[in-house]
Amino acid sequence: MMNKKTVALALSSLLFASALSAAPFGGKDDVDYAGKLWHNLSASGLVGEGAIMSTPYTGMHPHGAILDTIDATARVGSDEGVVIIKRNYGGTGVSKQAVANEPNKFLKAVTVMFKRTGYDPDNKDWFWVKYAPNGSVLKNPKGMSLAGRVAKGMPKGCIACHTGAPGGDMVFNHDRYAK
């Protein structure tokens, strides 16, 4: 016979599992797509060991103390679009010079925005993903994979933050729509 505490825990677990399956991001399809995206970016020399870098610059939360950003074009299956790759660096001794000299020592995550025509028109069709340095998809503290329409409709997260970017393109470092 189950006591009230056991029933409450079981119900809580069931509700959490239901919320995960109904989330607008982090599902199996998003994680699978993120894996294909990483593979193609790696094959192009944009991520992974020996990837090309841009000049490191001072960053800010949530990305990292030091960042470097690459803007390119990528293809995943029939999807071809702009990709913005931001490497997030941190740790003891991190600086622009230290990252330029030993990027792998300080790399904490790789965040990517990939433009997929028709994917999410409400949010400029960006597919969002946060990878570990080895290309595995990272998870938030609640265990949700950070791939797809990350935090869509939530007050915090990729989409909520990038909605505030100037120019209406959800990109902070330039105005993609400027003429």
Over residues 164-173, mean pLDDT = 77
Summary mean pLDDT of the chain = 84
Residue 152 scores a pLDDT above 50: yes
CA 156 distance to own-chain centroid:
14
Angle ∠(71,28,51) on CA atoms, nearest 5:
30
Cβ(115)–Cβ(81) below 8 Å: yes
Residue 34 scores a pLDDT above 50: yes
- The region of weakest confidence among 19-33, 86-100, 134-148 is 19-33
Q: What is the pLDDT of residue 4?
A: 58
Half-sphere exposure of 30 (CA within 13 A, CB side): 27
The larger pLDDT score, comparing residue 168 to residue 112, is at: 112
Q: Where are the domains of the chain?
A: 25-168
At 103-116, the pLDDT tens digits run 999 999 999 999 99
Residue 152 corresponds to which tokens in the numbers above? Answer: 């869509």
Q: What does the alpha-carbon distance between residue 165 and residue 78 come to, in Å, rounded to a whole number?
A: 28
- The region of weakest confidence among 14-23, 43-52, 121-130, 165-174 is 14-23
At 52-82, the pLDDT tens digits run 999 999 988 788 899 999 999 999 999 999 9
DSSP string, the chain: ---HHHHHHHHHHHHHHHHHHHSSBSSHHHHHHHHHHHHHHHHTTSSSTT------EE--TTT-SEEEEEEEEEEETTEEEEEEEEEEE-STT--HHHHHH-HHHHEEEEEEEEE-TTS-GGGTTEEEEEE-TTSPBPB-TTS-B-EESTTTTSSSSHHHHHTTSGGGSS-SSS-TT--
Residue 26 corresponds to which tokens in the numbers above? Answer: 């982090």
